């Protein structure tokens, strides 16, 4: 897929394959409303139809695929399925998206694993204790039971820890909110899966005894962990990660600091997920366990399967 922004700034997405000789259009350059192939100059329109080519009529050229695209709040949303169905599907909305009360920073990783392993990972945060012990993990996480519930296509796994010490990341967040970082806190993690493969996680701490997740803003530090998972192949993904925080939204230094920290934490997941994927490929016949803590991932997979079956039947 080749994405380009025309002279007016509008984004388009077309198949990355010039119909002339198969060169990748992504090596080309933009001219007016077209993406000009970098090999022989065929000018491709946003709709996948050739517009012009030097010394050549292009009327009969076969079109290539183009994809419905919407740009909103700094994200480009591409609809890779049947274009006729795109209009019926609204762009996802999230509390933090385009909301000036939030500061946002994030990045992209390429990870060699099935996208569903990434969903499992994010819908079960007990792994923080083991994979991220030095930053956000703490033993209390896997001592507090998680509850999973399903509301339509929306899967929610939540866990509340009361009267605990904040781990290093949250001590920092408390300080940034002007709150004391030495006392006990209530901590929460509420993971939301929505199709096709977004996982948004409400995370935060409040000074202990004020109601935890429901405590007033003045005594808590809270964020959304943002995870857009775009499958590339059966065993690789583009992973768009970020954090939308409700404190100091315009402080670029805080944005950079959190992004660097989150990038380091999520790199730890990358190693685990890729090695897990290799293990599963090496032993395709082995059944995995589905425990209580896996409920979020299990339910999310069921939603995906239901949607995929629906698309085929529709």
Over the range 166-191, which residues count as b (16 or more CB within 10 Å of their CB) and which as e?
Answer: bbebbbbbbebbebebeeebbbbbbb
Our finding on whether 54 is near a copy of itself (CB under 8 A) is yes
Bridge-partner residues for 202, per DSSP?
Answer: 190, 224
Q: Does 158 bind a copy of itself (CB under 8 A)?
A: no
Count CB-CB contacts under 10 A for residue 33: 17
Contacts with a copy of itself by CB under 8 A: the residue count is: 46
CA distance 204 to 224: 9
DSSP 28: S
**Of positions 283, 312, 313, 314, contacts a copy of itself by CB under 8 A:** 283
Comparing CB distances to a copy of itself, the nearer of 11 and 280 is 280
Instruction: Considering only the stretches 47-55, 161-169, 193-201, 255-263, report the one whose residues sit in contact with a copy of itself under the rule CB under 8 A.
Output: 47-55
Within 8 A by CB and 6+ apart from 41, the residues are: 53, 54
Q: Should residue 289 be labelled a site residue for a copy of itself when binding is judged by CB under 8 A?
A: yes
The answer to the question of residue 271 lying near a copy of itself (CB under 8 A) is yes
Q: How far is the CB of 227 from a copy of itself (least distance, A)?
A: 17
Q: Is residue 298 a contact residue for a copy of itself (CB under 8 A)?
A: no
Shortest spacing between CB 154 and a copy of itself, in angstroms: 23
Query: Considering only 50-58, 66-74, 224-232, 245-253, which stretch makes contact with a copy of itself by CB under 8 A?
Result: 50-58
User: Which position among 11, 30, 31, 39 is part of the footprint of a copy of itself (CB under 8 A)?
Assistant: 39
Asked whether position 285 contacts a copy of itself by CB under 8 A, the answer is no
Buried b / exposed e along 50-70 (16+ C-beta atoms within 10 A)? bbebeeeeeeebeebebbbbe
Residues 138-157 within binding reach of a copy of itself (CB under 8 A) = 142-143, 145
- Considering only 83-91, 105-113, 120-128, 258-266, which stretch makes contact with a copy of itself by CB under 8 A? 120-128
N- to C-terminal Cα distance for the chain?
25
Minimal distance, residue 139 CB to a copy of itself, in Å: 8
Binding of a copy of itself by 182 (CB under 8 A): no
24 binds a copy of itself (CB under 8 A): yes
Instruction: Give the span between the Cα atoms of 115 and 104, in whole angstroms.
Output: 24
154-165/184-194 β-pairing: antiparallel
Strands 75-78 and 220-233: unpaired
Stretch that binds a copy of itself, among 32-40, 70-78, 175-183, 200-208 (CB under 8 A): 32-40
The total number of residues written for the chain in this structure: 314
Q: What DSSP character marks residue 146?
A: P
Query: Binding residue for a copy of itself (CB under 8 A) from 1, 11, 16, 49?
Result: 16
Question: Which residues, at least 6 apart from 78, have a Cβ–Cβ distance to it below 8 Å?
Answer: 1, 3, 13, 67, 68, 69
Residues contributing to the site for a copy of itself (CB under 8 A) = 16-17, 19-24, 27-28, 36-41, 53-56, 61, 120, 124, 126-127, 129-131, 142-143, 145, 271-272, 275-276, 278-280, 283, 286, 288-289, 291-294
């Amino acid at each position: 897929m080749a994405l380009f922004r025309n002279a007016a700034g509008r984004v388009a997405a077309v198949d990355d394959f010039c119909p002339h000789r198969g060169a990748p259009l992504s090596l080309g350059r933009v001219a007016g409303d077209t993406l000009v192939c970098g090999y022989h100059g065929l000018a491709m329109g946003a709709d996948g139809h050739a517009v012009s080519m030097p010394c050549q009529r292009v009327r009969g050229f076969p079109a290539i695929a183009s994809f419905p695209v919407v740009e909103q709040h700094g994200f480009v949303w591409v609809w890779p399925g049947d274009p006729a169905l795109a209009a019926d599907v609204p762009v996802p909305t999230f509390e933090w998206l385009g909301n000036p009360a939030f500061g946002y920073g994030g990045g992209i990783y390429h990870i060699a694993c099935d996208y569903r392993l990434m969903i499992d990972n994010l819908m079960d945060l007990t792994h923080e204790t083991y994979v991220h012990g030095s930053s956000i993990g703490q033993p209390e996480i896997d001592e507090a039971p998680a509850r999973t519930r399903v509301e339509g296509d929306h899967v929610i796994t939540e866990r509340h820890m009361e009267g605990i010490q904040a781990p290093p990341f949250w001590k920092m967040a408390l300080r940034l909110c002007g709150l004391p970082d030495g006392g006990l806190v209530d901590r929460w993690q509420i993971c939301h899966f929505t199709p096709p493969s977004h996982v948004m996680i409400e995370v935060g701490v409040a000074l202990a005894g004020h109601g935890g997740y429901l405590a007033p803003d003045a005594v808590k530090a809270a964020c959304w962990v943002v995870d857009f998972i775009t499958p590339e192949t059966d065993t690789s993904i583009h992973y768009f990660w970020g954090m939308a925080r409700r404190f100091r939204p315009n402080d670029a230094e805080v944005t950079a600091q959190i992004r660097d920290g989150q990038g380091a934490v999520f790199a730890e997941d990358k190693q685990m997920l890729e090695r897990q994927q290799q293990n599963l490929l090496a032993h395709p016949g082995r059944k995995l366990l589905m425990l209580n803590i896996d409920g979020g991932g299990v339910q999310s997979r069921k939603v995906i399967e239901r949607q995929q079956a629906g698309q085929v039947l529709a």
